[in-house]
A and B are shown apart, each in its own frame.
Chain A
Amino acid sequence: MAPEPSTPDVLPGRGAADRQTVPEQRAEAGGDPADAELVARLRAGDEAAFADIVDAWSPMLLRVARTFVSTDASAQEIVQETWLAVVKGLDRFEGRSSLRTWVFRILTNLGKTRGVREARSVPLSSLSPDDDGPTVDPSRFRGADDQWADNWTPAGAPQPWEPSPENSLLAAEIREQVAKALEGLPDRQRAVVSLRDVHGLSSAEVCDALDISPANQRVLLHRGRAQLRAVLEDYYRGRRVQGHE
């Protein structure tokens, strides 16, 4: 049984906000009238408003939670604890960040604690060997002695995808392939690509939620996207790729 979250510990305090490590440039930063209205409705006990944000934000919260723990069940518990802390701590939300960012910070605090307890600490803040090296097979480019060194060889050049994946009759199957490939990415790449490209978070929100630098966020995004493009390319070339070991 999970202990009741100790609300004062997990709520982002004034100190955290004052550190100025989070650029306050995101579109939905504090002071957004829609956000203020949402908070007012929540404080007034509007259950429909609460259900709306639980439904809208839980998938991305689960994604972030999964970076701290090794099972989906644990991630579900962290997200549940997060929402409970939100319900109890709503009066302490000061509107200095967007409500969503505030909720993410509570999740991160709970996730870190939980991750330590489960002895799973994925250092999201640093890069690994997975994050280095070319993203496209070097043999697809001309050699150094070629007049057009480092440009595509005739066989290596990408060909247009016709029809485009989303216009294809196979769109559903293609989504399935990509979803499978996404699950196969290294943890940090999977988290960044999911949050940015599946859930639509801004780069600033992802950096904040995962506690990574903008430069690392871009590297992880770049490598993850490149891998997924390659999977789709193989698909278009008729080599139905299976999961690799």
Chain B
Amino acid sequence: MSDHATPGMTITCSEIVEVVTDYLEGEVDEAVRVEVEAHLALCPGCDAYLAQMRATLQVLGHVPVESLSEVARDDLLAAFHTFRPPAAGSP
């Protein structure tokens, strides 16, 4: 019974994993934030889950991205040159 009043125990692990994005986005109420942090301090499983989520984001920051083809890029620079000739005095 007293468990329900213990900080970190009013939220369950299954709720933590669903609120984690809002938490990382800073989109939770102050009361929820405090409760989440109390839970994380008590629960190695959820603490690991959050660390895994952060690690996932770190990997995402390094995945290769697709860019414009060289041909398309060259065409665009040529079009820019045509439509926006360098201002007088520029090299």
A residues with CB within 8 A of B: 42-47, 50-51, 54-55, 58-59, 62, 72, 76, 79-80, 83-84, 87-88, 90, 134-136, 138, 141, 149-152, 156-161, 164-166, 171, 174-175, 178-179, 182, 193, 197-200, 203, 218, 221-222, 225-226, 228-229, 232-233
- Tell whether A59 pairs with B55 under 8 Å between CB atoms, given A76-B72, A87-B84, A218-B25: no
Q: Is the CB of B63 within 8 A of A179?
A: yes
Chain A residues whose C-beta falls within 8 Å of the C-beta of B57 in the assembled complex: 197, 225
**Contacts A161-B52, A178-B56, A232-B52 known; A54 to B68 CB distance under 8 Å?**
yes
Using a CB–CB cutoff of 8 Å, the interface residues on chain B facing chain A are: 12-15, 17-18, 20-22, 25, 27, 43-46, 48-49, 51-53, 55-69, 72-73, 75-77, 79-81, 83-87, 90
Could you tell me if A225 and B56 are in contact, using CB atoms closer than 8 angstroms? yes
Instruction: Select A178's contact among B14, B63, B72, B84, beta carbons within 8 Å.
Output: B63
B83 touches A87 (CB 8 A): yes
Q: Which residues of B contact A152 (CB under 8 A)?
A: 13, 43, 45-46
Q: B77, A47: Cβ atoms under 8 Å?
A: yes
B83 & A62 in contact (Cβ 8 Å cutoff): no
Q: Which residues on A sit within 8 Å (CB–CB) of B75?
A: 80
Which residue of chain B lies nearest to A180 when distances are taken between CB atoms in the complex? Answer: B63
- Contact status A182-B60, CB under 8 Å: yes
Min C-beta distance of B1 to chain A, whole Å: 12
The answer on a CB contact under 8 Å between A175 and B59 is: yes
The answer to whether B55 and A161 touch across the interface, beta carbons within 8 angstroms, is yes
Expressed in whole angstroms, the Cα–Cα distance for A46 and B87 within the complex equals: 8
Please give, as numbers and ranges, the residues of chain B lying within 8 Å of A179 by CB-CB distance.
Answer: 63-64
A239–B25 Cα distance when bound, in Å, is: 30
CB distance from A118 to the nearest CB of B (A): 19
In the complex, the chain B residue whose C-beta lies closest to that of A156 is: B45
Residue of B nearest to A217 (CB): B25
Q: Are A134 and B67 in contact (CB under 8 A)?
A: no
Pick from A43, A76, A141, A222: contact of B14, CB below 8 A: A141
